[in-house]
Amino acid sequence: MMAFILFGLFFLLVMLRMPIAIALAVSSIAVLFTGSGMFGLELVADIMYSSVSKFTLLAIPFFILAGVIMEQAGISKRLIDFAQSLVGHRKSGIVFVTVLTAIFFAAISGSGPATVAAIGGILVPAMVKSGYKKETAGALVASSGAIGIIIPPSIAFIVFAVVAGDQIPVSIGRLFMAGVIPGLLLGLGFILAAMYVRWKQEKKEGPIEYVMKEKATGEEKLKAFTGALWGLLIPVIILGGIYGGFFTPTEAAVVAVFYGLFVGFFVYRELTIKKLYDILVASSVQTAVVMFIVSAASVYAYIITTEQIARQISEAMLSMSDNPVIILLLVNILLLIAGMFIDAISAYYIFIPILLPIMIAFNVDPTVFGVFMTVNLAIGLFTPPVGLNLFVAAGISKTTIGQISKGVVPFVVSSIIILLIITYIPQISTFLPDLLNIK
């Protein structure tokens, strides 16, 4: 009965379009009123406070702030110019530019919606001008933006490590490096999907007149690289500092903020005091939303754990099959469906207590689980009905959610294929961390 109230009420409220954080809080409190008496409402505030007061989570507001600073400092435009100088002259060059820029910016912002907002305003019109339909352009940007939570530094991986750490230690540094190859594979999948869409469109409507840039000279490439260099150095500084032992991921986020301010004020000189005020307000709002979700989800996760709901569900899933192939497939299906309705942070708090014991029972590396779970939830960012990237990209491309949802289908299919490859070939995730001896 308690599990029915907890999950049933939550998904009912989500279907009624109540904000995720409110749905989590309301369903948790409803269970507390009908619970076993193990704990009462007076513990809610303590649980919520303790969940957001962890030192590791301090990285979230700083990475959010760093991402907003980079966007306003003109770094995204310079990254696009650099990508165009490399591949903009090719027939599908604008597709390569979109995915490459998303990967570059993902390594700066650590956020999917932030990546879409930063690159979409420039690249969606450019794709339309190059002969692609608006819904295809918006869908590619929405899909590519999802790489933002996989390529390091990733806010999602930080939250995964914090939540999973209640059961088994998980290294944020190892998760960061494990996300590199899967993120690049997703980018390759999106490029192939976009080329398929172009081929299908040409087959139906005849040859399309593509607007292609002239091939950049060596001097132009060097100039574009020099302009983008300060942005390209950000992930090098962050990851190099973490793996070099100079600072923790939380301290790296602070370094990223000060580096972004330095570049914005003194190198590119596109930041002003007025812009800084707007940046602080925007990042504060985004941080408040994330931390509210974390605090509400922590109460939900606490109930799942203390009332043995997680253990019972885990045992039920384990009893369904002893074949790891089947179990991993069921876990992926569950996470794909969940990602269609709830954000990644909420999903971590809800499902990690349930699924991590199952993964441990089948000797699945927690790092590999973290990667394919995050890829699942990244797909949810551009999957209807509530994919956040879709709403951002629809606004930029001036299309309806229905139109862009239809356009995103080939990208969803390609990403699911990549997801299955990552799931069943764990060495894809562990290769780089093992090569660099990152524990």
Q: How far is CA 420 from CA 239, 368, 375, 425, 428, in A?
A: 27, 12, 10, 8, 11
List, for residues 359-404, the tens digit of each pLDDT value. 998 999 999 999 999 999 999 888 887 777 888 788 888 888 888 8
Rounded to whole angstroms, what are the CA distances from 232 to 14, 112, 146, 158?
39, 18, 19, 22
Query: Whole-angstrom Cα distance, residue 2 to residue 437?
Result: 44
Q: How would you label 285-321 residue by residue, b for 16+ Cβ within 10 Å and e otherwise?
A: ebbebbbbbbbbbbbbbbbbeebebbeebbeebeeee
pLDDT of residue 429: 94
Tell me what pLDDT residue 367 has. 95
Q: What is the mean pLDDT of residues 308-330?
A: 85
In the predicted structure, residue 208 carries a pLDDT above the cut 90: no
Query: Which residue's structure tokens are 């973290």?
Result: 370
Q: Is the pLDDT of residue 40 over 70?
A: no
Question: Which residues, including other chains, have CB under 8 Å from residue 140's CB and lie 6 or more apart?
Answer: 95, 98, 99, 127, 132, 190, 194, 411
The predicted pLDDT at position 414 comes to 95
Average pLDDT over residues 322-349: 88
CA–CA gap between residue 292 and residue 21 (Å, rounded): 7
pLDDT bucket at 212, cuts 50 / 70 / 90: low
Question: Which residues lie below 8 Å from residue 359, measured CB to CB, with a gap of 6+?
Answer: 331, 366, 369
- Of 80 and 356, the one with more pLDDT: 356
pLDDT at 37 over 60: no
Q: What is the pLDDT of residue 184?
A: 93
Task: Kindly indicate the confidence band of residue 6, based on its pLDDT and cuts at 50, 70 and 90.
Answer: confident
Stated pTM of the model: 0.84
